[in-house]
Amino acid sequence: MNTAQILEKAKTSKFYLWLLNWGLARMIPFNKPHGFKVEALSDQSIATSLPYKSSNFNHIRGIHACALATLSEFTTGVLLISRLDPAKYRIILKTLSMDYHYQGKMGVKAQFEITNEWLESHILTPLKSAESTDIICEVKTYDTAGNHICTGQVNWQIKSWDKVKMKV
């Protein structure tokens, strides 16, 4: 079974959601120690979580700013690859900007949503006439008590693989 099939089945099956999380932890080894978890996935939204544990702490036992930034990248990236064929499109992080509002002293959850119209107008239509397109995805992260911890602006560059130039 390929990743696209697992992503699709994870939208309705707890087992495939577990399998997706297990696979993502191994496919993206940098993220494994953080314990990121996709909590819910649909065609238009994703909810992820980051546990309150020592590998995610900063020097004052709060959730580290870099763990929160990586959660924002992870959240948007997973939803984008679930909607865009990774064999057809290269998705690469261009810039990442974070605004921190509140110190995270417990587990956090991030949310990101897109619509079919947004996908069409921001990605698919621009790629018909341009080599690449840049999209900014806004992610809001809240702790389990409902405090707004941070807002991430994740800027992805999306390009058709046939437009990617690689040095040999």
Break the chain into its structural domains and give their ranges: 3-163
167 has a pLDDT exceeding 70: yes
pLDDT class for 3, splitting at 50, 70, 90?
confident
CB 101 within 8 A of CB 150: yes
Closest by Cα among 136, 133, 139 to 151: 139
pTM: 0.92
Separation in Å, CA 131 to CA 83, 90, 134, 159: 19, 11, 11, 6
State the CATH class of domain 3-163: alpha beta
Q: Summarize pLDDT for 27-82 with one digit per residue, the tens.
A: 888 888 899 999 999 999 999 999 999 999 989 988 999 999 999 999 999 999 99
Both tokens of 159, joined, read 């390009």
101 has a pLDDT exceeding 70: yes
